[in-house]
Amino acid sequence: MTTGPWLRLLAIASTAGVAAVVATGEWGLAHDVVANITLVLLAAVVLCARLAYRNRRTLLIASGSAFCLFALAGLSALAGAPTALHFSLGAAALVASAVATAVCARGGEPVPRADWRDYLTLTKPRIMVLLLLTAAGGMFVGAEGVPPAGLLAATMFGLALACGGASALNHVLDRDIDVHMRRTDKRPVAAGRVPVERALEFGLALSALSFVVLASFVNVLAAVLALAGGLFYVLVYTRWLKRSTPQNIVIGGAAGAVPPLVGWAAATGNLTLPALWLFLIVFFWTPPHFWALALLIRRDYEAARVPMLPVVKGEAQTARSIVTYSFVLLGISLLPYVSNTLGVFYLLSALALGLAFVALAVVLRRRTTPANARRLFSFSLAYLALLFVAMALDPILF
């Protein structure tokens, strides 16, 4: 099978990165930043070669050699090895990376092109919008006002790439269960409209490019947080927790709570206690939000053998858990005011939204019907969006 444009882009970018690192050997900080970015790009090429093109051994050997040689070059510098050794390892990595890029350009069995709308679907744009909104809220709170426009744009773009990449990889890993669910059986990978190899390339490319954008134009902390959130979502939640425990979304919700941390880190360059409050709000919002949806599509999860709480514990226990988490969420949402991070405008907004959330959860507990579950699920989306809008407005208006 011929390699796709996403892998070719990664290969070219990684080779250019290695060349830039070799060329900036005496530039200090610029050298280190480019080296970190390039290491991520090389890792993405190796993963593509290993997971999508196992029959192309030359590609795997060349990309793997480039990654190892490049990493050894960095370690040799840290260990204080002679400059000649450091440069030689870097030059060897450049050769190996160039070979991998050349192998990617070689032809193979052609693959039909997928529609661009299918690639857009892979990024889960609706979910992405909400995640970006929480990140923007984190930026406004961290900046105590309106952050610089250029920094805001770079952060949103870089995080959008990270969210899109993680979502695309989720499509790849979940394709076996997506085909059993009416809600997901028309997804591009599950329906066969996008080949697994192309979706894998696409997801890895977006994730790696996210690190490039954030590390280059924001800061390394924001880039690492975005990458860590994506890895947690793909490997810990999608690959492990989702299929093994009814508490999957409780623990896995940490992935969706990372964007506010990215926003805070982008605005401040650090992580302090107020950033934790934003993380906890999204973390405790996720279970009641997702369990409301799970009540609506419980039969789909049963068919796919996914141990969501309504499948394992039943609807009554799920409704009770939703009420418990809703009360906890209300209390957690007040922490930014209690800690003097935000003011009265936010407090009143959090109280109004939180009490409405609790009221809908109690109604669902009393009558666990699809209509009540749908009402809570829909409001939960508005709740999170409006709460983070209130966070952003509070330091501006007051």
Shortest CA distance to 266 belongs to which of 216, 338, 231?
A: 216
Each residue's pLDDT tens digit, 50-90: 998 888 899 999 999 999 999 998 888 888 778 888 889 99
For the four alpha carbons of 307, 167, 282 and 364, in that order, the dihedral sign comes to negative
pLDDT in tens, 311-366: 999 999 999 999 999 999 999 999 999 999 999 999 999 999 999 999 999 999 99
**Structure tokens given for 8:** 């070719």
Q: Find the distance separating the first CA and the last CA of the chain, reported in whole Å.
A: 59
* CA-closest candidate to residue 141, choices 339, 396, 335, 348: 396
Domain residue ranges of the chain, discontinuous segments joined by +: 5-105, 112-254, 292-299+313-398
* Tens-level pLDDT at each residue, the chain (398 residues): 688 889 999 999 999 999 998 887 666 667 788 888 999 999 999 999 999 888 889 999 999 999 999 999 888 888 877 888 888 999 999 999 999 999 988 766 666 777 889 999 999 999 999 999 999 999 999 999 999 999 999 999 999 999 999 999 999 999 999 999 988 999 999 999 999 999 999 999 999 999 999 999 999 999 999 999 999 999 999 999 999 999 899 999 999 999 999 999 999 999 999 999 999 999 999 999 999 999 999 999 998 899 999 999 999 999 999 999 999 999 999 999 999 999 999 999 999 999 999 999 999 999 999 999 999 999 999 999 999 999 999 998 87
Say which CATH superfamily domain 112-254 falls into.
UbiA prenyltransferase (1.10.357.140)
Q: Please give the model's pTM, rounded to 2 decimal places.
A: 0.93
